[in-house]
Structure 1
Amino acid sequence: MAVNCFRCRHFFTTWDANHPRGCKAYQFKTQELPSALVKKSSGVECLKFELKQVEGRK
């Protein structure tokens, strides 16, 4: 199953138009979803995924 970066606590949006998405865990910015870049470069799914805590939910 593919990792959904939008639900990960390490995902962030940048002001860089060329690299609008980033991953705090791996410390990089990219044009595509960080999990897709991790999969493409390493051949394995992202191992740093952590479900983000949404206020009001457990």
Structure 2
Amino acid sequence: MESKRINCSACKHYYVTWDPRFPKGCKAHGFKTKHLPSLEVFRASGQPCYAFEKKIIKERGRG
């Protein structure tokens, strides 16, 4: 069974940390990592990340 790779940067739970050792983080799972959080979840559980929620991007108005 092949699953699609989850793009963490499109998830509302993803954030960039100030820690150079662990520059990527996931608020839903509560951890920081060197790699994409979805890859760490897959490595640990063998399942794709269940916490993915598409980020809503607001458009800036002109004026």
Query: Could you say which TM-score interval applies, normalised by the shorter chain?
Result: over 0.9
Number of residue equivalences: 56
Structure 1 ranges of 4+ moved more than 6 A? none
The root-mean-square deviation of aligned C-alpha atoms, in Å, is: 0.5
**TM-score, L = length of structure 2:** 0.87
From 31, 38, 41, give the equivalent of 2:41. 38
Q: Which runs of 5+ in 1 are unaligned?
A: none
Percent of residue pairs bearing the same amino acid type: 45
C-alpha separation in 1, matches of 2:5 and 2:50: 11
**TM-score, L = length of structure 1:** 0.94
Q: Which runs of 5+ in 2 are unaligned?
A: none
